[in-house]
Amino acid sequence: MVDSARFSKRPWFVLGRSFGSALFVMKEETKKLFNELWYYSSLSFSVALSIVIGLAIGYWLDMRVFGTSPWFTLIFLGLGVVAGFRNIYLAIKKSQKL
């Protein structure tokens, strides 16, 4: 067993080595912090991606299918923004459960 008092100020410590790489063991608080950080960074990516996808679909419909210049672009851009805010709302709802 590893002496935990020795490693109490570190968020992780090296437990052992196997096949040339270190095996890291993290504290529970650090794991939770990294999981939350990963979740919120992926949330910002999903918001931006939903807006870009809505814009791209609207632009494609305007230019290739119907020939109506700004209308489908604006409609699907609005839908992308709504989808992005829905993702934020669901994340806030999930974080309040915790």
Closest C-alpha among 92, 88, 91, 62 to residue 75:
62
Question: Where does the chain show beta strands of DSSP type E?
Answer: 12-18, 21-26
Q: What's residue 6's pLDDT?
A: 53
19 falls within a domain: no
Residue 1 in domain? no
State how far Cα 5 lies from the chain centre. 34
Q: Is residue 7 part of a domain?
A: no
Rounded alpha-carbon distances, angstroms, from residue 19 to 12, 14, 16, 90: 20, 14, 10, 42
The answer to whether residue 48 sits within a structural domain is yes
Residues 6+ apart with CB under 8 A from 91: 39, 40, 43
pLDDT tens-digit series, residues 6-57: 555 555 555 554 444 555 677 888 888 888 888 888 888 999 999 999 999 9
Residue 37 forms part of a structural domain: yes
By residue range, what is the domain housing residue 52?
28-97
Task: Tell me whether residue 72 is in a domain.
Answer: yes
